């Protein structure tokens, strides 16, 4: 500990570091994601906190994945796909997402997003037929 730096400043820095890196994601990234998600932010919170609460590993993977997505409506329909995914059965989504292979980059993330949406749609039709 550097004696020249007041203890309250050191404590503030430590606290800020903890607050800015939760589940491997910084506050500014969370705010940006929340802006992009808009009304779907509540659904994301439900996916994480819905019983049983999602593991920290799942949360890290999910946030990392969501941060790769482009929300440019001219080139991607990310919001619409997420809306259908986030309104699906939470445990089904968690299971599919947990077992999915993370793909690299924005393009890979969008391919995975579409695959999860397609798989959830198939599961919903199977559940409806039962």
The 10s digit of each residue's pLDDT in 27-76 is 788 888 889 999 999 999 999 998 899 998 999 899 989 999 988 877 67
Find out whether 44 and 67 touch, Cβ atoms under 8 Å.
no
Residue 58 and residue 23: Cα distance in Å, rounded? 9
24: DSSP letter: T
pTM score of the predicted model: 0.74
Closest CA to 83 of 29, 122, 38, 51: 38
Find out whether 81 and 114 touch, Cβ atoms under 8 Å.
yes
Where exactly are the structural domains of the chain? 7-129
Which pLDDT score, from 0 to 100, does residue 14 have?
A: 60
Closest CA to 113 of 58, 75, 65, 72: 65
Find out whether 97 and 62 touch, Cβ atoms under 8 Å.
yes
Provide mean pLDDT across the span 98-117: 89
Q: What percentage of the chain's residues is helix, strand, coil (to nearest 5)?
A: 70, 0, 25
């Amino acid at each position: 500990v550097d004696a020249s730096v007041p203890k309250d400043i050191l404590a503030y820095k430590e606290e800020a570091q903890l607050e800015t890196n939760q589940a491997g994601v910084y506050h500014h990234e969370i705010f940006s994601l929340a802006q992009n998600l808009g009304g779907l932010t509540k659904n994301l919170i439900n996916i994480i906190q819905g019983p049983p609460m999602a593991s920290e590993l799942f949360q890290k993977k999910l946030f990392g994945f969501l941060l790769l997505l482009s929300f440019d409506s001219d080139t991607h329909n990310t919001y619409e796909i997420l809306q259908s995914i986030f309104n699906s059965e939470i445990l089904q989504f968690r299971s599919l997402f947990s077992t999915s292979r993370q793909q690299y980059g924005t393009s890979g993330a969008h391919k995975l997003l579409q695959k999860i949406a397609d798989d959830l749609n198939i599961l919903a039709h199977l559940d409806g037929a039962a």
